[in-house]
Amino acid sequence: MRIGELEKLTDTPARSLRYYEQQGLITPRRLDNGYREYDDYLVDRVIQIRGLIDSGIPTRIIKQMLPCLGKPRTIVVEDADPELLVVLARERDRMDRRIDCLTRNREAIDAYMQAVTEASPERTAAVGAL
């Protein structure tokens, strides 16, 4: 697939996809005309990379984690950054806090939607359409 299709499937700007390529996180094939050709497996890979970046994990750490993202998963530790475990533990703990916050927010939204639905049954159809 071309970069535009990968961009749409992953909701990731083409500029970011090129950056991921520069950082060695993804490797598209090159066609004779020089265009990038992305394999289907890169859809999941890009979504994972984006999630890790959104979580605050630097690309240099993500690059070391790439073998763990694929299937079959393999863990390579020979040339791992010495601070990798410290960074990953910190980021994991930060993710846990964000997950807890998002869970509370989702529950609050659900409670609000339930209260509105109970107060105005005619709105139930509108909520269900979303």
The separation between CA 120 and the C-alpha centre of its own chain, rounded to angstroms, equals 37
The answer, yes or no, to whether residue 76 has pLDDT greater than 70, is no
> What's the pLDDT at 66?
82
Domain coordinates in residue numbering, the chain: 1-78, 82-130
For residues 62 and 3, what is the distance between their CA atoms, to the nearest angstrom?
21
Looking at residue 11, its pLDDT comes to 94
Each residue of 26-69: pLDDT tens digit?
999 998 998 889 999 999 999 999 988 988 788 888 888 887 77
- Please give the pLDDT value at position 19: 95
Check pLDDT > 90 for residue 3.
yes
- 3-state SS track over the chain: CCHHHHHHHHCCCHHHHHHHHHCCCCCCEECCCCCEECCCHHHHHHHHHHHHHHCCCCHHHHHHHHHHHCCCCCCCCCCCCCCHHHHHHHHHHHHHHHHHHHHHHHHHHHHHHHHHHHHCHHHHHHHHHC
pLDDT tops 80 at residue 125: no
> What is the CATH number that goes with domain 1-78?
1.10.1660.10
pLDDT of residue 124: 60
Decide if pLDDT at 75 tops 80.
Answer: no
